[in-house]
Structure 1
Amino acid sequence: MTVTLPKPAPPQGHPLSPRNLWSAALSSYVAIVVVVLIVALPLLWMVLSSFKSPAELITTTPTLFPESFAPTNYVEAAKRIPLVRLFFNSVLVTVIGAGIKVLLAIMTAYALVYVKFPFKNVIFAGILVTLMVPPQVSMLPNFLLISQLGGVNTYWGIILPGLGTGFGTFLLRQQFLSIPKSLTEAAEIDGAGHWRRLWQIVVPVSAPTIATVALVSIVFEWNDYLWPLIIITDPSMMTLPVGLNTLRNSEASALGYPLLMAGSVAIIVPVLIVFVALQRYIIAGLTQGAVKD
């Protein structure tokens, strides 16, 4: 007959002791909870305020929840500005602009890694230089060029100047460099050309990084304010950020705060939905190309 003796508890100085485990849990989870609250509470306050009346916001005794969740402010905001039209404009510009931007980044990064041509490193250095130049520097030249081409108050006039993405090209190039060469060499031996190697091998393997570049591009296109403000003068062609600024100018008093909150929710919620849909790729995409094999 065998007798099983209980295992002795680890000493207090041991890494697995209850005291160390509790201190580690508190030091990590408390920081996470604090950061989440700092990020989430303003968003929650904005969403709840979008349902409040001006009297509920402009008071010395504010309350968290509104008296009614009726979408009155959203209806009123849609009357002040063509909210549905602006939403359609933003979706169209974001989908086309971000899609072309990601496609160009994929093809440029592939060429920089797998295609042999002169001055390849010089071209890549030039792409990196674009990351150091503020976009405001190119506003005037872009406006002169697009206006001379007839792009004022057009969708392509909004989209065209921002199609190049140095960040996406750099990130995808680093990812493509980390792909084992045996994969592409085996496909080349089987007779696959550059086009098949790109879309059947390189792109599927690099899906997390491509999703990260797509997310960054979508957020940038959706939130872009300065360039659409410059190139668009027709209210029906404005995007949501420009329309929200128009709504703010028309509601200069504090009584318009609920309408501004409703417009802000209309801008932020679609980006949050895209972020939730792609969030599992973000960490993998940012770290996948960090180490070269």
Structure 2
Amino acid sequence: GWRKKSSMTQTVNVIPVELTELRSASTSNGGTALTTTLGLISIPLGADYISITPRNFSADCKAAGVLLNPYLSIFHTQNAGQDTTDLSDEMQDGDATSVEFVTFAITGTGYMYVGARVPFLGVQVGLGTNKNATASVLTVNYWKPGGWTDISDNDGTITGTESMSQSGDVVWTIPTTWQKTSLSAIGDTLPASCNKYEERYWTRWEWSAALDTVAVNTMRTINRSTTYAEYIEGQAVELKLSDREISCVQAITGAGTANLIVNVGSLIGSEFE
């Protein structure tokens, strides 16, 4: 004989996440324009949810490339570490408010510390109205066992001999000897109030001469990877975020142009800042 096989069905209810706020992180009215040059879209502080949708492909655009870039720890000292100022949030919150560095001190006294939880290819620096007009060369050092070492950066903020005179990308080739550690373990003299105990891939930025007053709007990570996640036109992706883990979306096209719509939301108790 034979036995009739019984079947069982199960209903699965999908309950949308409960958001208290929802807003756009990209350019309004259709999304941020993408080209074959990488662009960055800041994620507001306090975001717990993100959706990414590429649209408006030109005829020669086959996909939009997307990366999620790590949040940076950024602070500076102008008196050899006696006092520090944390700029992490201000440089990555996506608004137009700038921080003015008044006569940023020279090497040996003035340092900018920039670090992330994973290696990074560089930092995109966005300047405000006030820019440097004094000859000064930037050196970016990285930490490897044995000491701070010149990372051989390419300074996109320099015009002629004047670093921090225009917005630009400060980039480098990622060293194989770059070590993740804390500034406390490194031994730099810093107060406990700074990020000295955070284990990061740290860089230390130094200028050869004191800068004029410089207004800095943004400092955002450039991703270590050039292998972008690819999305076709209209393909949406939704992701959960942890606050201050991802600072921005990095996006590009392989050819042609497109637009990228990035929306973000926040949960109860973690509203946008």
The structure carrying a bigger strand percent of its residues is 2
Normalising by the smaller structure, the TM-score range is under 0.3
Q: What TM-score does the superposition give when structure 2 sets the normalisation length?
A: 0.22
Q: Determine which structure has more spread, i.e. the larger CA radius of gyration.
A: 1
* More relative contact order, 1 or 2 (CA 8 Å, 6+ apart): 2
